[in-house]
Structure 1
Amino acid sequence: MSTSSSMAFQFGASSSLSFSSSSIRRWTHDVFLSFRGEDVRQNFISHLYHALHQRGINTYIDNNLKRGEEISSELSKAIEGSMISIIVLSKNYAESRWCLDELLKILECKEMVKQIILPLFYDVDPSEVRHQKGSFGEAFAKLRYKLKDEVKVTKWEAALEKVANLSGLELRDRNESKFIQDIIKWVDSIMVNRTFLKVAKYPVGIESRVRDIFQHLSMGRNDIICMVGIFGTGGIGKTTISKEVYNRISYQFEGSCFLKNIRETSKAGGLIQLQKTLLYEILGISLECHDTEKGINVIRHRLCFKRVLLILDDVDDLVQLETLAGARDWFGSGSRIIITTRDQHLLNISKVDSKYEVKRLDHNEALELFSWHAFEEDKPMEDYVELSKHVMQYAEGLPLVLTVLGSDLRGQNINYWRSTLDKYKRIPSKNIQKVLCISYDGLDDNEKEIFLDIAFFYNGQYLNHVVKILDSCGFSPENGIKRLIDKCLITITTYNTLWMHDLLLDMGREIVRKESPKEPGARSRLWFHEDIRHVLEENTGTSNVEGIEVILPEGDDHDMIRLSPKSFAKMKRLRIFKSHGAYFSGRSLDYLSNELRVLDWSNCPLQSLPSNFRGEKLFDFKLYRGRIQEISGQFKNLTRMRFFECTFLTKISNLSSCSSLKELDIMDCENLVEVHDSVGFLDKLARLHLYQCSNMKSFPRRLKLRSLEVLTLFNCSKLQTFPEIECIMEYLCCISLLGTPIKELPSSIGHLTPALKELLLGQCTKLMRLPSSIHQLQNLKVLISTNDCKDLMRLPISVSHSQHLKCLSLENFTNLAKEEIGLSIGYDKCLKHRKLTISRRIKRSELESSAELRRQLLSSLYWYLDDFSFYSSSTLQELDLSWGAVVSLPPTMKIYVELRILRLCHCEKLQEILHLPPNIQELYVRECFSLERFPEVSTKFQFSTSYGLRELRWIDLSGCHKLVANIGSQVPNPSFVEKHIQDHSYGIIFPGNKIPDWFSHTKEISNGDDSCELDISGPLYLEEIIGIVFCAVLGSDPDYPLGPFSGICVSINGNMLVEARFYLYGGSDHVYLNYSFPDCIEQLLRYPTEDNLRFRFYCDSYKVMFKSCGVHIIYKHEENENLTVGECSVDSSNGIQLSKRRRDDEDSNLEFNGYPQHKRRSQDLGNSNAT
């Protein structure tokens, strides 16, 4: 993994680091490894380096075995150029002067460039490093004796103490392989949060402005939500500065998002897309909605508990703010929202907490920035000093203008400079666009055309696609775009899209407006919707018009444009027509230009294309919600054809002339009946997608698509026949036939080797058999045939021979013959490490006759067994017995030493759990209404003298209301925890309504909420903390009797600590209890503090509410009071039945509710015992 940053930090002269003048570090390495070679080089370090390298993490390792007295300049630069330093503190680390000098350099980089450090305590204790004790101290003493330099030794002592106090990872007695995996996960998490936005090549003047903004952000306060507005004129650097702020602080938040170019994006109804981007960047979820109100509700609900950084760039309308960040309480405490805008009044009415006006560069800053672009150094060349000062007068301190002018003059002789300055003199003061236009005037005709096309049609689009379109127009895009980049008129983003500053966009539009100020129909390009309406309705277009893009402003989407047959008649040179959101009247046109390269028309009113339209130059063709009925044409240069929701489209006619077609996408064309056979012979077609064409009956009978990569026939619910494959398709990797009623696949499907990896047959309700030739698909990895494929009767024995098959799913195959199941899974060596899912009622006689069937069926997701008994392999790792008629687990369960996950959900006859596999990690027993006995669950969470089921980390007992148990009855014993439990987390959920009495910090929530916060003030003595116990009482909405699937999270100071997911049933209360025993509490806190910890409990479902929450901190050497309480039970016939001890002792930690039908009675008794 490598960072996308190409910048570097800038520091004052006092820094000892030799960095360039950029503001974000140009990291040459992701990770630097510091280690003592003789301790770890041949084993641990080599394995760690290999793992980092395999992960794509650019890692520097010093392989020089002979080291001198001082670290080399090369090594020093390697440290400075690394984002992360991993320091392996082994027993002899402190005996090496070289290692300790590396440590000093690393700590210096931590202070100066915010380098991140991860100490690894390799067979040493952090306290030994901190105080130079034990074997580590002995090694340091040897160096001290040998060196006899107390000044140097004092520096090293301070450095060792400092690094030992940082959050780190300890090996102790852990497996090295697992230890390395934890390191990789840690590095991955840092890399994600430290991927930088591209700021500027020469960010002169940024540092001081960023420091000013930090003053407004109040970064030291996590108890407030702060909104800051950054305003200033266009081109002054608002976006650049806010990117730099984002890069500096984004990693400090739980989530962050930089929403760029909001003004332009929102014009075309893009506010919904902005909401989607916001949620995806912060939460990683894809929002499916079609209105902003729903998006507002999701943002407000999902982010109100998260500490986020949100930057809204280039806002020009209050609606944008109201849609994306309408109020502070949309976000969690400690969040920061930054808004950049040209409109200070917008900030006033939105009531931001603070405003910052970006000042223009002063003379020295402006001269330096100009010099970097004009001369590639920080000051002008001697002969150009006076001329450069004249340039300053016209740039007026605007970074954008300085950048463009400097790039324009770079490499030119002094006469060219003088000539250009003479042009500047003729421009009135304050007319920035005219100054910028001089750079445009210096372009040749090809470059000017490309510049204007990008300004009007392609800003923000992918470079590769734009290059192809421009090439189809006869331009020379490679050279032209390179020239525009060189002159800083466009840039290429990290995502390989084109980007042009809005001042330059405006300049391009003004250039075109001036082509014909009074008559838009005489201009080369049209974008303003009223001009387009005038031209199309009044038939005033001319042969000058080359491109039109209709984008209606918000609220004008139903204002119809009236077309006549002659609307396009005079536009003989029209190359581009794009319309998004506009509505048109008129059913036909007499003419469309045969020069068209792009036809992208939503709500197209045409029933057919004009008869004289050949479309021979058409490159990209898209219709959305149009009235078109049939498609045909001589589209020999067409590469992409897309039709979405064209409900009148009935037929795709002969496309044999479309010899260049690479993508054919047809979605939701519900009346499409026929796709012509010619589509099956398009030699360059790489993607063929038909989605939800519910009436399509006729599809090509034969496929000879040598370039095809993906074939999708999704929910084509009347297509019964799959075509014959007539050639080897060496690129086809995925076929999806989900929801398609085909009856069988042809034997010729074997021609799809070697590329085919996925064959998806879900909901193929009529599928009866798979061909034996399927075994020829040697690289097939996923064969999924799920959900109601009930007619499948024959599964070839060859399926199990596939050496690459990883996932074979055959759920709900009620007609699949038992011999077919047995044969299909009869090869243990092939399916040993794979996942097989089958659902069919199995008789005991069938199990007894096939050992392999026993082994596989007991690992399926759903199974039914008439006569329950266990037959399985002891190597089984996951077992799902849900919905089964299990009464009790037999003693033979203990032979399954490899079993890690056991599911017993909805086993309504299950009465007791007395025997479990010894290495079980996760146990799911929800909704087992008859479960009464589970002794292990009581002893599991005592952490005092015994430690059974050491690997069991999660137990789900939700809905088990009859269970008699004694969970959380006493405080964990600190000495036992310190000796036996290291770096583990244990959780459980069970019916109940009370936090254990021994919890030191609790909070009641009277009305219920989807989050709960607890503040614990210090001093906290973080070094002494060995564990934290969390507890929450949860209630679900009674209107949802089946209960929502929910996720509960607990964070400390904004950093996620634990997370669990479960169902809550029947509207009853449940207790979530978690014991967390980290190696070092500081590693959970990015910014550990001695005087305050904020714990936040929150849930991702609004149907679940917190009724109370609690935290208990476990310290070393703490006295264990061993508070114990009795058991609680619930009886479905008598409501609540308390054990004798519970009746005698009102301090019990648990109260179990009754069944839903006894809810009122349960609550009454629960309330009587509430404290």
Structure 2
Amino acid sequence: MTFLMLPCPHGSLIRLISELVLYVTRQLKKAELDGTSLLVGIDNQVCEMMRRLEVDCRNGQAVEIRGNEVRMVGIHGARGIGKTTLAKFVYNQLYPLFEGCSYLGNIQEISQTEPLQHLQSQLVSELLKQEPRSLGSLEEGNHYIKHRFRNMRVLIVLDDVNERHHLEAFAGKLSWFGSRSRIIVTTRNADLLNIPEVVATYEVEPMELDQSLRLFCRHAFGGTSPHEGYDYLSRRIVFTTEGLPLAIEVVGSFLYRKNKEIWNETLHQLKKEPVDSVQQVLTASYEALDQGTKDIYLDIACFFIGKDKRIPFYMWEDCGFYPCSGIERLLLTSLVKIGENNELSMYDLLRDLGREIVYKEDPAKPGRRSRLWNHGEALSTLRRKEVKGTRRVQALCLKFDNGLPYCFTCEEFRSLSKLRFLKLDNANIGGDFTNLLSNLRWLDWRGCPVTYEAMNLHLKKLVILDLSWSKVTQNWGGWSQIKMPRLKVLNLTGCNEMLVTPNFSGYPLLEMLILERCFQLVKIDPSICRLRLLVSLNLKSCSNLCELPQEMGYMEALQELLIDGTSIQEIPKSIAHMEKLETLSASNCYSLTSLPNSICSIEALSLLLLDNVKIPELPNSIGSLVKLKRLSLRGCQRIQKLPESIGKLGSSLVELDISGTLISELPNSTRNLQLLRVLKMERCHVRKFPSAIGRLRKLEEIHASHCKSLGGSIPSTIHNLQFLKILILGYSCVSSLPPSIQSLSHLQTLDLLPCDNLETLPMLPSSLTCLRICSKKMSTIPDIQNLVELEDLSFGNENPKELIIPHSAFDPASTLTNPRTLWPIRFPKLKSLELSHSQILNLGFEYGSACVPQLKKVILTGTNLQGVSGLPSSLSVLSIQACLSLKRLPTVQNLINLSELELLNSAVEEIKGLGELKRLEILVMSYCRIERLDGLSKLRSLKRLSLKNCNSLDRLPNISDLTMLKVLEIHQCSRICNIEGLEVLTSLEELHVSECEAEWSSRVRHAQKSIRKRLRTSS
């Protein structure tokens, strides 16, 4: 890995920042995905979370929500352990099951700079899939959430919640949401989860040693394994980091390109005191930075976590900090990260390190520190009569609640001569500011009052003005009285009193103008067209804005135009004059019914995003956009075909998304798209695979699921796609795969679930890590034993939904007795197996003595399965569903890691070794022939026991020792008349007994009354 030193001349930074991010993404994205998300055992953690959330999974996908109750589940653990990674992964698995979904990330940090009602507005917007609405106060937000979503099934993730009132602002009561809703909360404060609403928690554990080593190697060597001569040192260092991803990343980055002497010194330090030594490594990484990069790091730690990375660049550049090379250095040393939405972020421990460095500048006197991020310390510093020491203060944050604004006088700022960043939330300033704040580069004045009271406020060096969420209008006094000749960024997000924008003539150097979520805005002042240096214009979610100025073409420097979610009806023809425009995003512009042909003359355009727009077609000259990299027409339901000229984008187009359109055939010219890497055509009407698919040699992903018209054979020329990694054809009518598919040496995911016209499978490439296939016509079991890299296998010819068989259907005479050859499972890396194939009668898990099984999850479905042997001790989930020929399970006493056991519609009569499952937390049985549950009373870790329609079960063992049991369900088990030991289970939170004799027993009634009493007391 080499350092790319990007030049940073004065002027526009958008292109430079884009190049920087693109470079760092290329270098680090694989390390982030392969080295963090996949290596923390995310699949096992997801299984644990799904159980707590009561969500059924099949074939690697979440398919059904159990029960009708609303459930809130907490994720807790140490800083940097991977709580957010797990929450994001679970969210992405679950969201298709819900009517509305919202992920609120980094709540603790954002709440320091944003009023909570703005986050409430984001929650409402995402749940309703609408543009954000204005919420005037926290109480208004609570009232709206409480009444709007009570009948809606929602999924909400509240990430990094560390204060009780933050949790109450978004999900104060479970009754706010409809049945089967799920809320996930991540926090470092486990005590926060000790409330009645949280029904289950999950603690994220440290990474395993082999996973830690791979992550370490990503950062220390840029690969997956140690370099020659460094194997021992790498393993010893990784061992001392105790599986903490943050420590692994930072130590690995610190040692990158260091000599062995420093490696040995680092190991020696870590062996002494691992936690303190990691802190020393962090400090050493900081000390190795140049002064400008140190300033950037401290600014981010104190103020800019969650900020759009582009905005502080303007201040840093103006201060001579060289932000391009500085941010690059911070990224490559893992001290700073760039999030999914291009926001700056860092681990909490790194944030705290930065703030500790500032604190130590003068622990006793805050006014003598360079940065004051704490409102109380900043306010007391300004109020002091003796303020000479404040000449060191460079950045200061004051944040007041909504209401009558606090008013500062000019005297309180008189000695702040070095101040370059000032945050004044919901405050006012008054007096004569002549010669004051002369070095201020960034004024963050959110919630500034309608009345402007300051005089002679001449901010000659100001480059950023943020008036977000203010009541300013076009007539606000500050527009004419504040002198800002060098202003480059103006942020007016959420200024909902503004009907017309101000006159921009006084800001000739403006480069970024943000008007996002100005819901009442109906007109843009024509002076905007004279902003010849404007690079970015953001009008997203200005829902009442119907038109753009016709003279927009004069904005010749514009590179980014965002009009998503507006009511704009047409794009001016003059857009053709924007020769530098790179991004045009108009998704969810439901009033936009056509594109001007002139758009095709913008040769710089690289991103054209038109999701859900009601245009009937693209301009025929779309091929003139010779630099277009990404074209998204997702959900454009009126588009029936692509222009033939699209083939002229062969030297630029990287991603094409036509999902949800009426397109039935790709034009012949698509064969010329030589750089295309991602082709998405889900839920569209394409009838056959393009015959020239083999010409697209750079393709890495093909997404064609739910294309019900897509049939026939996959062309044999697919063997030319040597870079193909993902091929998804589920829910299509594809009838065969060519034998040449075996040559795709990079293919990792093949999803054919279900493809009911498939009869056979050819030999598949050994590189596959995920294979999902189900076809009712597939009578021959394919040979897949060569798939030694396989981690996820879902294989069947039956539809599990059709195998829900009532109890009356059990018939011993119906079971098949002809034994077939044992089908072996010996994939060394397999982690998840879901099997539902009628031709497999006997299943054996065969792992050699040299192989350590990785298998965690097994789901078996099939009426003909008769025997299972060799279940590995690594299993944590075992589910037997509709196996009417399987009367006997193998002894399960060796399954020492099993935490969930399900028997659904099963003929199994006895579970031998049940009492040895010391880690079992969930036991679910439904429509089973089970006659006794010997050993149940020994399951001290059991948290949920569910028995439904088990009429052969005549009694339960005494359950008084199940001290961890939280949920007990017994339904239609007609022979159970008594539940011994129930009265001593103080851990019970839910008890449901119905349609059995025990329902009316005094034990059950007394226990239900005790539960209600405990819940009332705790609330």
Could you state the TM-score of these two structures normalised by the residue count of structure 2?
0.45
Could you state the TM-score of these two structures normalised by the residue count of structure 1?
0.40
